[in-house]
Every structure is written in C-alpha cells, then in structure tokens.
Amino acid sequence: MRVFVLGGSGFIGAVVAVALRDMGHEVIVGARKSGDLSIDRNDPAVVARLIARERCSVMIDMIAYEPHSTMALRKALGDDIERYVLVSSADVYRNYGGLHRLEEGEPIFDHLTEDSPLRTRLYPYRTISPRTADAPDAWKDAYDKIPTECAVAGPSVTIVRLPMVYGPGDRNRRFAWIVTPMKRGAATIVAPAAWLSWVTTYGHVNNVAAAIALCATNSAAAGRTYNCGERPVSHAEWIARFAALAGWSGEVVHDEAGPLAGAIGAMDLHYPLALSTDRIRSELGYAEVMASDDAALSVLSEDRTLAH
C-alpha cells in the first residue's frame, strides 16, 4: 500500500511514517519545509495532483486544523484515494470544554467513548480580539476539530482522536514537571492536590503512531472514529511510575500556590479527560507497541529535560 502522510515531518507524523514503513508499506511524506515532497496544504489542487502522481491510495492528514481548507482538500482528492485519515483530538469532547471553563454541565466521570457528548462551544482557542494575520498563533482562531471532522465525515474517512502525546521530541515537555526534579535529585515535587489526582489519557508517540498507521491500513477502519491512548491514570500514579524507574525516593508535597498553580489555575480539574480505547482494540486488534515502563524510560533518558 502506498500512503501519503501530509505533515509527516513533525513530532508525531515522522513516527507515523516510520511505523508504516515498518509494516511494509510505501510512504510518501509531504511537508512545507521537509519530507519527500515540499507541499503547501492550502493549495488543495496541487496536493491532489501530487498524490495522484505518486499513486497513493491512502492519505493521512496530520495537520487538519480547521474545516474550510480540510473540506477543500477532501473535495480536491475526490475518488483518487481510497481512504482519507483525519487526525483529530480528544479536545472535541464536552469534558474538555468544562475543563477549560468554556461551558458548563456535569462532568462525565466514565471513560469517554467515541459517542460521548462533544463540546457545544466551538473554536476553543479564540481570543476576544482576533489575532493579527502575521501572529505565529493566528491559526488558533480558526482551529476546531469538531467542524473539521464534520466537514469530511463519510464512508471512506477514518477519524483518529489523539490524547496528549509525549515522548522524545515533545515540545510541550508534558512530564518535565516530574522528571526534571527527579533527575536533579530534588527532595520534593510540589503540585496542587487536584492536579495530582486528575485523571487523563496520555499516549507515547510510538504507540499513537502505531494506532494511526493501523487505522490507515486496516479496511475495517473505513467510516469509523477511534480514540487512541494508553490506560488513563492520575498524575500521582505517573509520579510513582517515574520514581520507581528513576530510583527517586523524594516526597510529593501538596501546595495549591506552588510552581504549577499559574499554569493550571484556569482549569476546572473536576472534569477528567480519560478516553476509552475499547473500540480500536476490539475492532482493529490494536495493542501498544511500547510497554508503559519503556515509554516512561524514553522520557527519563531524554537529556534535554535538564536543559530548562
């Protein structure tokens, strides 16, 4: 199978390309600045011609951030591809809206399935005053995965909703607040109690990439939507996991006004963001390619955690 990965040079996309090649598929990577083909996603006719020229039967769209360009691209592709895979996000769920105080409603404490309620407030990252066109984060004003999913949904489309992704190359350094103190030999890790008990879903980039590759190449995934991610656990459990692997014997201190208070103070942590991944496991036979300890070790071994 020949697969075109649009946005395949980034943190997740590059690993998706590797996963596909390891499965024996031919992969063409399209990206603005690197990859096999230099390509501008905002010129759908050019993208469609390149995919037809490369004889790709599947396209994975890693950078479908807003509905208008995504719908234009899907229309341009037409029947030239057998499958279009939209990489989406767990931020579509209503609990995400509650977490960021965008809307009200009782939290859903059960694991979120693909059929769980979605946000009712769209465009979650818009500001009161629109960003200027040359602002580096101007794309956030148009970003929303809910209308983007709706723009392309159909029998030849597969939607994959990602958790928070971590691992080597994670620019957000999602676990630096745990790992950096441990590697520096700090006696304590200080965090608000609500943050320590908050349950959410993370996914190591290798495991997430494997899920995307499976959804792109398994015929049973056509027309389906899948959550992916590892078993949801609390941050306290993540600390315990890293501590066991790092040999850290320090103390976890609850402090509502500690160093993390500013970063998470705007969130309502009564809303978990725990995903059910039963569907992808039962329908497609998905299983993690990297065990939880190995995934955590990859974060511990990344030297740049000490660079900040």
Domain boundaries, the chain: 2-166+202-232+274-296
CA 53 to CA 46: how far, in whole Å?
10
Report whether 221 contacts 284 (CB < 8 A): yes
36 — pLDDT class (breaks 50, 70, 90) = low
Q: What is the pLDDT of residue 305?
A: 41
More reliable by pLDDT, 258 or 101: 101
For the chain, give the mean pLDDT.
Answer: 93
18 — pLDDT class (breaks 50, 70, 90) = very high
The stretch 90-119 carries a mean pLDDT of 97
Residue 303 pLDDT greater than 80, yes or no:
no
The stretch 9-33 carries a mean pLDDT of 93
| Beta-strand pair 164-166/26-31 | unpaired
Report whether 252 contacts 193 (CB < 8 A): no
Residue 95 pLDDT greater than 70, yes or no:
yes
Residue 299 pLDDT greater than 70, yes or no:
yes
Hey, which CATH number is domain 2-166+202-232+274-296, 3.40.50.720, 3.30.1490.390, 3.40.50.300, 3.30.300.90? 3.40.50.720
Q: What is the pLDDT of residue 35?
A: 59
DSSP state of 112: B
Could you tell me which residues come within 8 angstroms of residue 219 by beta carbon, excluding any fewer than 6 positions away?
A: none
Where is average pLDDT lowest: 1-5, 108-112, 125-129?
125-129
Q: What is the pLDDT of residue 254?
A: 93
Q: What is the pTM of this model?
A: 0.94
More reliable by pLDDT, 306 or 228: 228
User: What tokens does 1 get?
Assistant: 């199978």
More reliable by pLDDT, 133 or 21: 21
User: What tokens does 104 get?
Assistant: 């009200």
User: What tokens does 208 get?
Assistant: 């997430």
Residue 246 pLDDT greater than 50, yes or no:
yes
User: pLDDT, tens digit, for every residue of 148-164?
Assistant: 999 999 999 999 999 99
CA 91 to CA 162: how far, in whole Å?
9
Portion of the chain with pLDDT greater than 70, in percent = 96
306 — pLDDT class (breaks 50, 70, 90) = very low
User: What tokens does 47 get?
Assistant: 């993208």
Q: What is the pLDDT of residue 200?
A: 97
